[in-house]
Amino acid sequence: MNLKQGRIGYQEALSVVTIASVVSAVFTTDSEKLYAKGNSAWLSMLISAFIALIVFELVVYAMRVSKTQSLYAFLCYGLGKQLAAAVALLVSGMLLCCAVSLLARFTLMVGRFVFPQAGEKTILLYFMLAVLVLVYLGWEGVARTARLFLWLLVAALVGALALASYGYELHRLAPFLGDGFSSMLQNAASEVLLFLPAMVGMLIVTRGVHGMKTAGRTGYMAGLIGGIIAALCQFCVGMTYSYQDLAQMHSPMFRLTMGFKSAGYFPRLDTLLLFGWVMSAVLAACYYVYTASLMYANVFAQEDIRPNLAAFTALAGGLALLSHSGVAWLKAALDFIGRQGYALLAAPLVLCAALTIFRAKTADKNDKNKSEPSKEEEKEA
């Protein structure tokens, strides 16, 4: 068996999941939709992270009750093998879509702001090579590398927000609830997909983090930290630009760094920060590709994950490249996933959790009744 899982500790697991959730939440949002009717993204990010945490905790509780040790085993317990296979493939596809979104967004950022003369194909090729090398090292290699780069990502974000603080104006956050509370909740629901896949991925690699206890704690902390950091970034970006300007920006966080007063000691600090973020995005893409490949291997009982890693990396890169080519069906599919992907991912998991809890409680009750002597047996005794 060659699943390239290895064993890692709590710090490494927390690092890779935090990077995946933060990078996805900060850099892959659709600015045109997010800021179309106001600048309440900072609050909707907190709400979406809270919703993702509720779904995750429900699944973890159901897995604990059913005593299952992986997400696929949990799905089989609650839904049966055939339906579990379909849901597991759906989860694998959603994780792959997260990797595609990251690769497509950062390819466009680097091509637009750093190497305008280079085409997306050339830039994406370098990204794919980096992802393939790292993901081939396996879960342990990706997680330990993420631990090295976590503080670089945190320093890049904190440094960027601190250096841009001279331009903050609180009035730019108006209207504070956007187009109303219901509109903000709709944004929050669609943004659940920014946090939940990274957390769910931990339940696929439970064996690599020494069991469910570490996986559950890691996913919970990563979702909490990711939500706070994403909300802080959106709050600072919202104090820098009005929502009309933000709706027209491709990458607000990077545009924030382009306005630094960085002449002198820090020329082109925006480019240096971007490459720190690019490294984090590559690690996040590796995490999504590996977890998607492992879930696929679980469904088909594969003992060697290496062909899956190569195939999923090539598929993610190919779809990211097609997204820049204006392919209509792919654009429509990605838009649909961006709007309704949270329901596609959360609904089957919540359903399975409810069925699992019901089955486990019923089984415990039956076992308890069997172990207790009946009234007739008591009289005979």
What pLDDT is attached to residue 39?
A: 79
What burial class does residue 211 get, using C-beta atoms within 10 Å of its C-beta: 0-12 exposed, 13-18 middle, 19+ buried?
A: exposed
More confident of the two residues 344 and 272: 344
**pLDDT tens column, 350-364:** 999 999 999 888 876
pLDDT tens-digit map of 285-295? 999 999 999 99
Rounded to whole angstroms, the Cα distance separating 220 from 250 reads 30
Give the whole-angstrom CA distance, residue 233 versus residue 252: 10
Confirm if 37 and 184 have CB atoms less than 8 A apart: no
- pTM assigned to the model: 0.91
Task: Tally helices (H) and strands (E) across the chain.
Answer: 16, 0
Using 50, 70 and 90 to split pLDDT, how confident is the model at 335?
Answer: confident
Q: Which domains does the chain have, with CATH numbers?
A: 10-360 (1.20.1740.10)
Burial 44-76 (b: 16+ CB within 10 A, else e): bbbbbbebbbebbbbbbebbebbebebbbbbbb
Is residue 263 very low, low, confident or very high in pLDDT (cuts 50, 70, 90)? very low
pLDDT of residue 372: 62
Q: What angle do CA 46, 47, 51 make, to 5 degrees?
A: 120
| Stretch 38-54: mean pLDDT | 89
Q: Tell me the longest C-alpha to C-alpha distance in the chain.
A: 95
Distance CA 163, CA 22 (A): 20
| pLDDT band per the 50, 70, 90 thresholds, residue 264 | very low
Could you read off the pLDDT of 86-143 as tens digits, one per residue?
Answer: 999 999 999 999 999 999 999 988 888 778 888 888 899 999 999 999 999 999 999 9
Q: Looking at residue 95, what is its pLDDT?
A: 96
